[in-house]
Amino acid sequence: MYVAVKGGERAIDNAHAWLAEERRGDTDIAEMSIAQIREQLALAVDRVMAEGSLYDPDLAALAIKQARGDMIEAVFLIRAYRTTLPRFGASAPIDTGAMACDRRISATFKDLPGGQVLGPTFDYTHRLLDFALAAEGLEPSEAPEAAADMADLPHVTDFLAQEDLIQREPEGSDTPRDLTREPLDFPTDRPLRLQALSRGDEGFVLSMAYSTQRGYGRNHPFVGELRTGKVAVEMDIPELGFAIEIGEAVVTECETVNQFTGSKTEPPQFTRGYGLTFGHCERKAISMALVDRAMRWAELGEDNVGAPAQDEEFVLYHADNVQASGFLEHIKLPHYVDFQSELELIRRLRADAMAGQHQEAAE
C-alpha cells in the first residue's frame, strides 16, 4: 500500500547534491570525458547498449558516467531515454554475412574459408595483471597488419546446410512481435525470445546457459561460429520511396551447432542456437545461443525435462535487469503504513496467543 506523504524534499536535494560531488570524486584527479569512456571502456559501453537496447555509444558512455559505473543503473538510464524518442521505422534485417569482421572463429572447422581470425581478444592472455597499464603515458605499439582479403566471410552453418546436415532456419513474419510495444505474452515465439535474450542481463543469461552445460537441459553445443564486426543498417525512407543505409553498428553473432539424434518429429541432424547482440559482447552472444537452443525443445519435439532454461516463462520474466532491479529495489522505499498494519497484526496475534497460554496455565 502506498500513501502519499510530504517531507524529505530538502534531504533528497542534499543527498543528490552529495551524489554529484561523490560522482566527481577527488577534484585533484582529472575528470573523465565521454570520449574517454567511449574509447577506453568500450566493452562497458557495448554492454550498456546491448542491454539498454539502444545503439548510441556516446549516450551509453554518458549513462556510465552518470551512473558512476553502475552498469544496471546505466542500462536503466538508456532505457528511460529511449522511451522519449519517436521511432521512425524498422530496419531491413541486418546481413551478418556482409559483416566487416574484426574477429571470426569457429570451434568446429579448423580450415574454413576466410580462416580463423582472432581479432582483439582476451583469449590466450594469461590473466596476469599488467602493471605497465598503471603507469600512464605509455602508448601501445601499433598492431601488426597483413594483406587482407576484403571478401565477405561465409557462415559456417551454410556449409552444413548445403549437405542438409543442419536444420534450415524457417521463415518468419516480416513484422516480428516487439516486447517494447506489447506486453510479454505466453506462449512466445522464437523472434520474441531472441529480442528478450538480446536485451537480457548478461549475468542472468550466462548463468542460464551454464546451467544447461551442467546438465539442466543439456543440448550439446559447439560454437560453429563467433563473429564480431560492423554491419550496415538499412531502412526504407517513405518520403524517398527507397531504402538507404541509415548507419552502421558493431554486433556480435554466435551460431551454435547442436548435436541432435532426432525426435518424434525431426530426423537426425544438427540443430541451431543463435545469439546476436549490439557491440562486442561475446560471452553474452554465446550464452544467448545456448539458452535460445534450450527453449526450442517444443518446436524440435524434444522432451521437457523441467530444466529452468527450457522454461520460457521463467527465463523471459527474469532476464530483464531493469524490471528485476525496479521491483527488487522498491522494497527499500518507505513502506511505513504497510509495516504499521503488520505490526498491529503481530501485536494482536501475540496478545491472543499469550492470553491463551495464561488461560491454559490457570486451568
Partner 1 sequence: MSNSQPDLTPAVAARKRRLSIFAKAGEDALTPLFERFAQTHPIADYTVLRAAEVGTSMVRGRAGGSGAPFNLGEMSVTRMSVRLPSGAAGHGYVQGRSKEAALMAALLDAMAEDGFAEGVDDLVVAPLEDAAKTARAARAAKAAATKVEFFTMVRGEG
Cis upstream peptide for 268 (omega within 30°): no
Q: Looking at residue 23, what DSSP letter applies?
A: H
Q: Looking at residue 98, what DSSP letter applies?
A: G
The nearest distance, CB 228 to partner 1, in angstroms, is: 10
Instruction: Decide if residue 82 touches partner 1 (CB under 8 A).
Output: yes
Site string for partner 1, 198-217 (x = CB under 8 A): xx------------------
Span interacting with partner 1, options 8-16, 90-98, 297-305, 327-335, rule CB under 8 A: 90-98
The nearest distance, CB 278 to partner 1, in angstroms, is: 6
Taking the least distance from each CB to partner 1, the nearer of 96 and 219 is 96
Instruction: Decide if residue 55 touches partner 1 (CB under 8 A).
Output: yes
The nearest distance, CB 308 to partner 1, in angstroms, is: 22
Alpha-carbon distance of 2 to 5, in angstroms, equals 9
Question: Can you read off the three cell numbers belonging to residue 281?
Answer: 559482447
Q: Which amino acid is at 25?
A: G
Span interacting with partner 1, options 25-33, 139-147, 209-217, 321-329, rule CB under 8 A: 139-147
Alpha-carbon distance of 20 to 339, in angstroms, equals 32
Instruction: Decide if residue 136 touches partner 1 (CB under 8 A).
Output: no
> Which residues is 58 bridged to in the sheet?
none
Among 38, 45, 47, 56, indicate the residue that binds partner 1 (CB under 8 A): 56
Taking the least distance from each CB to partner 1, the nearer of 75 and 307 is 75
Alpha-carbon distance of 277 to 199, in angstroms, equals 8
Taking the least distance from each CB to partner 1, the nearer of 180 and 357 is 180
Query: Whats the size of the chain, residue-wise?
Result: 363
Among 97, 113, 326, 356, indicate the residue that binds partner 1 (CB under 8 A): 97
Instruction: Decide if residue 143 touches partner 1 (CB under 8 A).
Output: yes
Instruction: Decide if residue 96 touches partner 1 (CB under 8 A).
Output: yes
Please report how many Cα atoms fall inside a 13 Å half-sphere around the Cα of residue 136, on the Cβ side: 1
DSSP code per residue over 134-160: GSTT-PPPPPP------SPPPPHHHHH
Taking the least distance from each CB to partner 1, the nearer of 140 and 306 is 140
Instruction: Decide if residue 184 touches partner 1 (CB under 8 A).
Output: no
Alpha-carbon distance of 280 to 229, in angstroms, equals 8
Q: Where are the beta strands (DSSP E) in 169-263?
A: 221-237, 242-258
Q: Which residues in the 259-318 window bind partner 1 by CB under 8 A?
A: 272, 274, 276-278
- The 10 Å CB-count burial string (b at 16+, else e) for 120-131 is eeeeeeeeeeee
Among 176, 218, 269, 335, indicate the residue that binds partner 1 (CB under 8 A): 176
Alpha-carbon distance of 61 to 45, in angstroms, equals 6
Taking the least distance from each CB to partner 1, the nearer of 138 and 150 is 150
Instruction: Decide if residue 115 touches partner 1 (CB under 8 A).
Output: yes
* Residue 258 burial by Cβ neighbours in a 10 Å radius (0-12, 13-18, 19+): buried
Q: Tell me the number of residues near partner 1 by CB under 8 A.
A: 92
Among 13, 21, 164, 178, indicate the residue that binds partner 1 (CB under 8 A): 178
Q: Which residues in the 324-363 window bind partner 1 by CB under 8 A?
A: none
Span interacting with partner 1, options 1-9, 15-23, 244-252, 311-319, rule CB under 8 A: 244-252
